[in-house]
A and B are shown apart, each in its own frame.
Chain A
Amino acid sequence: MLHIVSRSPFSDDSLKSCVRIAKKDDPILLTEDAVTGVMPGSAVASLLQDAMKSHAVYALSADLKARGVDRMLDGIKVVDYAGFVELVEQHKPMTWL
């Protein structure tokens, strides 16, 4: 299953809940405001670093670019919309709203 998180991890616990529930090796894709979580040194860095021990974590490039997010924790993978579609081809998607 592909877990899609779109809400900001600084104001909402959807990322936290996703990480709590997601099965090992299920990929997590950050979109929209959720991409703000990937900057190093942030309050959610350790949550994402822990998540990356059990999951591949992706961030959507268009949303990163739109928000000027120009630096990322090591290990975060960047995908464009074509990559987003490929993730959905490989896994059933589930959006954490």
Chain B
Amino acid sequence: MKIGVLVQEGPYNHEASDSAYKFIEAAMAKGHTIQGVFFYDDGVYNVASKMEPPQDDRHIAKRWSELGAKGVDLIVCVAAAKRRGINPDLIMPNSRISGLGQLSEMCTEADRLITFGD
């Protein structure tokens, strides 16, 4: 199955980002294709490249970027990013900034669209 994922909350402040990641891991383990992960609202901070959490905590941006390296399309909403001071120089490798049209496409093409937020 092709699954699209929408993440509406930022990292650490809320569990939504962790839940989305765990869900994606489990879906991929079952052989599903992740059509893309779309970061919206404060979700755009998930791939902020200047993130430096304490060493004994999970590194959320790095974790997403590693998922991106496995071929998962990580899309940061341009409008939400601009509003929050995130630009292409400030996001992790293997993620990209694009428009809400990408989310629309995901809604059309994926078999399932699942939202994680608050």
Chain A residues with CB under 8 Å of chain B are 4, 6-7, 31-33, 62-63, 80-82, 84-86, 88-89, 92-93, 95, 97
Let me know if A85 and B26 touch, CB within 8 A: yes
Question: Smallest Cβ distance from A91 to chain B, in angstroms?
Answer: 9
Q: Is the CB of A32 within 8 A of B30?
A: no
A/B pair count, beta carbons within 8 Å: 52
Give the secondary structure class of A's interface. Answer: helix
Name the prevailing secondary structure of the B interface residues. Answer: mixed
Q: How far does the alpha carbon of A63 sit from the alpha carbon of B23 in the complex, in Å?
A: 13
Are A88 and B112 neighbours in the complex by a CB distance under 8 Å? yes
Q: Known contacts A31-B19, A84-B26, A88-B3; can you find 4 more A-B pairs with CB under 8 A?
A: A32-B15, A89-B30, A92-B112, A97-B117
The minimal Cβ–Cβ distance linking B22 to chain A, given in whole angstroms, is: 5
- B1-43, CB < 8 A from A: 1, 3, 8, 15-16, 19, 22-23, 25-27, 29-30, 32
Contact yes or no, A82 B115, CB < 8 A: no
Is B90 close to A, CB under 8 A? Answer: no
**What 6 A-B pairs come out closest when comparing CB atoms?**
A81-B26, A95-B115, A93-B114, A97-B117, A85-B26, A32-B15
Q: Which of A31, A80, A85 contacts B27 (CB 8 A)?
A: A85
Residues of chain B with a CB closer than 8 A to A32's CB: 15-16, 19
